[in-house]
Amino acid sequence: MTVKIAPSILSADFARLGDEVKAIDQAGCDWVHIDVMDGHFVPNLTFGPPVIKAIRPWTAKCFDVHLMIDPAQPYLESYAKAGADYIVVHAEADLHIDRSLQVIRSLGKKAGLSLNPATPENVLDYVLDRLDLVLVMSVNPGFGGQSFLDSQLEKIARIKKMIGGRPIELEVDGGITPETAPKVIAAGATVLVAGSAVFKSADYAANIEALRG
Ligand code: DX5
Ligand code: ZN
């Protein structure tokens, strides 16, 4: 099975966001990755639900909404209504992970849990059956264009083993380039997020293909 590519629109031209979403769709992306930041959990601010609602008509592809916000629980319904397909919360931003994951599924959405680089994989131990996706951060979240942390390769491989035969996507986010992608795929990733590597130059289709390994 080929790896899915989820361009992060954090690196898109915000003045033309609808066109940019359409362009990555036509360039053959699998999902659209949307980085939601609150200026508190991470030192940056990005998209609220109205922005997601505004770009929803521009593609039929899956919206993978990465919530870097603390708390996340009060906003889950708003992001679900805005058009998210996957809603991913951070293990470090939530005292009640099990409950948040249940809420996401009760809203009819796929539930994901994201782990910062220093967070060990054992936070997954008692929630695996509530998950549709695990997101391994391979940079410290907050900004695009950072360098991939090789320390995360071992964690990706360990999580792959924990997942076993369950239908859970293993997504990796941060510093993905044509050079780092093969290592991440070899470790077991099924979805690669890429911001700068997709939007760095005009030929989005070529940039996406270059990541598939
Ligand atoms: C970082 C975000 C990433 C980011 C990736 O906090 O979660 O999705 O956009 O950007 P690149 O691919 O440039 O590292
Ligand atoms: Zn992200």
CATH for 190: 3.20.20.70
- 45 pLDDT higher than 90: yes
Q: What are the residues whose beta carbons fall under 8 Å from the beta carbon of 135, sequence distance 6 or more?
A: 66, 88, 112, 113, 114, 115, 171, 172, 173, 193
- 213 pLDDT higher than 80: no
pLDDT-derived band of residue 72, with 50, 70 and 90 as boundaries? Answer: very high
What are 81-120's pLDDT values in tens digits? Answer: 999 999 999 999 988 999 999 999 999 999 999 999 999 9
User: Ligand 1 — pocket residues by CB below 6 A?
Assistant: 8, 10-11, 33, 35, 66, 139, 141-142, 144-146, 173-176, 193-197
**Separation of CA 197 and ligand 1 centre (Å):** 10
**Residue whose tokens read 């979240």:** 141
Structural domain boundaries, residue 68: 4-212
| Residue 94 confidence (pLDDT) | 84
**DSSP-derived 3-state class of residue 194:** strand
Determine the length of the chain. 213
| Residue 171 confidence (pLDDT) | 99
- 1 pLDDT higher than 90: no
Neighbours of ion ligand 2 (CB under 5 A): 35, 66, 173
* Residue 194 CA, closest ligand 1 atom number: 12
Q: Mean pLDDT over all residues of the chain?
A: 98
Q: Whole-prediction pTM value?
A: 0.98
**Residue whose tokens read 């992001």:** 79
Contact 132, 124 (CB under 8 A): no
Choose the catalytic residue: 38, 64, 94, 173. 173
Number of domains in the chain: 1
- 204 pLDDT higher than 80: yes
| Residue 65 confidence (pLDDT) | 99
What are 112-161's pLDDT values in tens digits? Answer: 999 999 999 999 999 999 999 999 999 999 999 999 999 999 999 999 99
Choose the catalytic residue: 35, 38, 64, 132. 35
